[in-house]
Structure 1
């Protein structure tokens, strides 16, 4: 994956020791690193029942949304958003990761064996999902889910 090296450097840049983080990431058979949120990005975790349709909406309006994580059970979808978003976000069922929070992050260039994976891996450019656009996409996805439930 050509952008994986750049993506690894971008993600590892938030670690207390980026070089050690990159080395451990390459050696770790799980293919994961524990990284602090709140420096280069925050994360908004949506229940996947809402997160996956939200991602579908984002793909209709953007060529490339920011990086998106999913857990192995597909219970949660995590959108990387600008730092500071977690502190201001209010939303039922949405979990946030900002300053003081560490998250499990899979290597962007290879599969993870640790229960978390990239739905959209970072490209290393620092592109993040715009929180206002994410909120609008969430509303549209929720409305679509509600309409689908009403038809049953």
Structure 2
């Protein structure tokens, strides 16, 4: 529970009014809030069929990747990366949320119907290195292509 509280504080710190954000978030029956990207983190959004194998590669090479969100139906996965990444990212089929955008974020430790954490924030600010994420995406895509050739 302490980790969830720390994660809540870390996430809410980017809100225009962090205290009001935490208060509303705790009481929102949906368990979600809108938070601005581009302050403490950006989000790279991968299609689920690429996101899951990418996460598998990342968890093999890193002790702890940054937070990862998944939407209802597992169609899209959001990898939290350092601020500024979205402005520099070029990748076909990869969407990004950076400065000037907002994302739906579930309360850590609670499940919601719309989005959920695959990897919750740890509250320390751990983010995924975009260069490692890109390498993991390439390895995952190569694995998917090889699997498609075999099947």
TM-score (structure 2 length as normaliser): 0.99
Which runs of 5 or more residues in structure 2 are unaligned? none
Where do 4+ consecutive residues of structure 1 move more than 3 Å? none
How far apart, in 2, do the equivalents of 1:7 and 1:36 lie? 16
Give the corresponding residue for 1:66: 66
How do 1:56-95 residues align onto structure 2 when only pairs under 5 Å count?
A: 56-95=56-95
Q: Deviation of residue 112 (structure 1)? A: 1.6
Q: Could you give the per-residue CA deviations for residues 25-46 of structure 1, whole angstroms, max 9, x where no partner exists?
A: 0000000010000000000000
Give the corresponding residue for 2:105: 105
How far apart, in 2, do the equivalents of 1:47 and 1:110 lie? 23
TM-score (structure 1 length as normaliser): 0.98
Give the corresponding residue for 2:8: 8
Q: Deviation of residue 111 (structure 1)? A: 1.2
Q: Could you give the per-residue CA deviations for residues 61-101 of structure 1, whole angstroms, max 9, x where no partner exists?
A: 11111000000111001000000000000001000000010
Give the corresponding residue for 1:145: 144
**Matched residues, number:** 151
How far apart, in 1, do the equivalents of 2:73 and 2:37 lie? 22
Q: Deviation of residue 2 (structure 1)? A: 2.5
Secondary structure of the equivalent of 1:45?
strand
Q: CA RMSD in A?
A: 0.6
